[in-house]
Amino acid sequence: MRQMIFTILAAGLMFGTSACQKELGYTGFVDQNAPAEAGISLSTDKAVYKPGETVTFTASEMPAGAIYIRYMHLGEQLGDEQPLSGDTWTWTAPAEDFKGYMAEVYQKSASGENILVTIAVDVSSDWKKFPRYGFLATFNEMSAEACDAVIADLNRLHINGVQFQDWHWKHHWPLAQDKTSGAPLETYIDIASRDTYLSTIRNYISSAHNYGMKAIFYNLCFGALDDAAEDGVREEWYIFKDDSHGTKDSHELGSMFKSSIYLTDPGNGEWQEYLGEKNDAVYENLAFDGYQIDQLGSRGTVYDYDGNTVDLTAGYASFINAMKTRHQDKSLIMNAVSNFGSEQILGTGKVDFAYNEMWKDEDQFTDLRKAIEDNKEYGGDDMQTVFAAYMNYDKADNTGSFNTPGVLLTDAVIFALGGSHLEMGEHMLCKEYFPNSNLGMTEELKKSIISYYDFMTAYQNLLRDGGEFNDVTVTSTDSQMNIKSWEPATGNVITLCKETGDRQIVHLLNFSQANSTSWRDLDGTMPEPVQIVNPTVDINVGKEVAAVWMASPDIDGGAHKVLPFTPGEGKIRITLPSLKYWDMIVIEYDK
């Protein structure tokens, strides 16, 4: 929950588009008919595949003439190119687990190849290796077809896990049930007094599973509403602001909500047993794959009923262990709000990946890197990081559109660092109250976000699969760029370098026109960078270079480009096609 959850609604936030939007003509954040470079859209039947599984591709608006497809892994072609005919075809995923691929569809001409459209394929048997997390936040009455249309949009972005936000009846009793019979209620009112339909939740879960996605339910680890005593929550389980149990710690909400939220001790064994039993009912009635555990950040000094100081971070670890013991086969993810409790959360070894909700005290691009590095220290080198990082936050107090340059520059940095960004659901996320859809996506952003998620997926083995960041000297030889090594600074192209195996990776991140080194772009004022055409750079190398290639989500949908290079004394010289937001250069060393 989001450190400041609901305060914006209490101040009179407009809700924006509802989740019954598909029934009302909603076209989704990804317009499936939005043209690629040559007017083609391309999709796969799943977000992720098991090794050896059949991948089905579907294209629209394929042009006339000879068209070919090739399947690439990190710049290397798998097998021969294949001619395409028709708008549907299949490919057998390779047998090796945890690999990303790029399918490139192209035409040939006397002047060379013309990339028509690309799409990534993730072959991974476990989502926690490369998590790409999305969300759902509103559960009005919707048909199965309407729910599937929303999930199909997420599928195009290869989202492999979906967080069901604010789906629940009460924080202390998430599944709405008849208190006498225990039968689930088919309709109920959520915390924000919205109608919620169990049929819609079921439809969403079913659709997510059909696309190979995990369905994860959301709830606090320590929340109770004002009627909790009637439901069996004991006074002795709460945390208090004083040592004489006079005032419960609480998160106050406005009149539009059915209750404020009162906080229990997450480390209290009786509370863990109580909520564990309620979660048992969730799993018995809904096919959720796991539990997204939330908190509220630092609460200052708080006390238990007996006046003892409560260590919330230790309580989080105890709560995670209790939930995992109860359901060993279910995923757990826990929010570290402003890094509060990260070490204890990840130290349990029981969460699928790190989840960091970033706020104003972590608003610099450098804070993103620090969070990723801290998470690997606390959870091990394989620990992945997903950021809940809300873009254009102040702009979203009113209606409008996301600022495309701010979103793309932030995603470029997060993805280059090896992280992922929780931002896509029925709409793009702008506030900690997930149903807020005050900001829409421009057509440019809709198209670009597909390329960025394809890029993150296709090149996940370079971006997110080991390696060590290092320093490599990169020099502009034509004065088109002021190049500076990490950390970000306005007026510069920033290099972020990493060595992995026999490859040296050099990311170029374009801050040349940036007006801030904050990822938040609060008011949506980050300028669009001027595209740099055919820049030439020297890159210092310490080994014999066999080949150089590059890829960019800003060029041909992330298709690889072989780069001729001129060797020199301890360096190579290359010319790039262009630089807009982000280029990735890959130097292959002679084995």
Three-state DSSP class for 495?
strand
DSSP 8-state symbol, 228? G
Domain boundary among 90, 123, 156: 123
Q: Pick from 123, 158, 184: which residue ends a domain? A: 123
Residue 460 lies in a domain: no
CB-based contact 71:79 (threshold 8 Å): yes
Max CA separation in the chain (angstroms): 83
Domain that holds residue 501: 468-589
pTM of the entire predicted model = 0.95
Query: What span, in angstroms and rounded, lies between the C-alpha atoms of 196 and 261?
Result: 19
In a domain, 481, yes or no: yes
Residue 473 within a domain: yes
395 in a structural domain: no
The CATH number linked to 524 is 2.60.40.1180
Q: Which of 123, 143, 164 is the last residue of a domain?
A: 123
User: 523 and 568 in contact (C-beta within 8 Å)?
Assistant: no
Each of the 591 residues of the chain gets a pLDDT tens digit; together they read: 544 444 333 333 333 333 334 333 334 544 333 334 446 899 999 999 999 999 999 999 888 888 999 999 999 999 999 999 889 999 999 999 999 999 999 999 888 899 999 999 999 999 999 999 999 999 999 999 999 999 999 999 999 999 999 999 999 999 999 999 999 999 999 999 999 999 999 999 999 999 999 999 999 999 999 999 999 999 999 999 999 999 999 999 988 899 999 999 999 999 999 999 999 999 999 999 999 999 999 999 999 999 999 999 999 999 999 999 999 999 999 999 999 999 999 999 999 999 999 999 999 999 999 999 999 999 999 999 999 999 999 999 999 999 999 999 999 999 999 999 999 999 999 999 999 999 999 999 999 999 999 999 999 999 999 999 999 999 999 999 999 999 999 999 999 999 999 999 999 999 999 999 999 999 999 999 999 999 999 999 989 999 999 999 999 999 999 999 999 999 999 999 999 999 999 999 998
Assess if residue 224 is contained within a domain: no
Q: 10 Å Cβ neighbour count for 78?
A: 11
Residues 6+ apart with CB under 8 A from 84: 62, 67, 68, 69, 105
Count of domains forming the chain: 2
Assign residue 109 the CATH number of its domain: 2.60.40.10
